[in-house]
């Protein structure tokens, strides 16, 4: 009888641990540091960036992005945001072109975003992490704060 009770308690503990493990969010494949590969990227309108480093981290379902960009003019801009992929707007600090974004998960490796300045949509972007997790492609179409239309396909390598 005592062995049966011990087995039952162990089974309950193991089941509870399995449920807690299963409830933990799956890490987004974007988590990590990504460096722009300028030669592989295309900027069909607007000047090419000199560099960009994106660092993504995850805490529960929230993703934080810190993006350091050096523009064609040599000016460095750092922006950051913390967001959920739930379609709601989240603030972006430090970006002159947009001050909020909303994102949705398309599949396990792809997310799409709407970029806003004030309450006005100024662009869209998507990011896709390759199946091997080594490359990320970001496609953007935005009207900048200067009113210029800018399109790009940026390719990043995981660091």
pLDDT tens, 86-135?
Answer: 999 999 999 999 999 999 999 999 999 999 999 999 999 999 999 999 99
Q: Decide which of 67 and 47 is more confident.
A: 67
User: Which residue ranges form the domains of the chain, and what is each CATH number?
Assistant: 27-158 (2.40.128.20)
Residue reference for tokens 């069909």: 44
pTM: 0.82
Q: Which one-letter DSSP state was computed for residue 28? A: P
Reported as type and span, the H/E element at residue 7 is helix 2-23
The tens digit of pLDDT for each residue in 112-122 reads 999 999 999 99
Q: What is the rounded average pLDDT of the residues 47-60?
A: 95
Evaluate if residue 5 carries a pLDDT over 50.
Answer: no
The Cα-based distances of 4 to 7, 11, 16, 18, 151 in angstroms read: 5, 10, 18, 21, 66
């Amino acid at each position: 009888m005592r062995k049966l009770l011990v087995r039952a308690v162990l089974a309950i503990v193991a089941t509870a641990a399995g449920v807690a493990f299963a409830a933990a969010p799956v890490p987004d494949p974007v988590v990590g540091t990504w460096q722009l590969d300028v030669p592989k990227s295309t900027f069909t309108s607007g000047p090419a960036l000199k560099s960009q480093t994106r660092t993504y981290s995850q805490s529960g379902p929230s993703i934080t992005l810190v993006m350091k960009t050096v523009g064609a003019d040599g000016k460095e801009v750092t922006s950051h945001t913390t967001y959920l992929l739930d379609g709601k707007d989240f603030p972006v600090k430090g970006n002159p072109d947009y001050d909020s974004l909303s994102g949705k998960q398309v599949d396990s490796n792809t997310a799409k975003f709407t970029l806003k300045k004030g309450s006005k949509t100024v662009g869209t972007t998507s990011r896709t992490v390759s199946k091997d997790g080594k490359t990320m492609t970001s496609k953007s179409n935005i009207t900048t704060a200067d009113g210029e239309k800018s399109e790009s396909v940026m390719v990043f390598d995981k660091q």
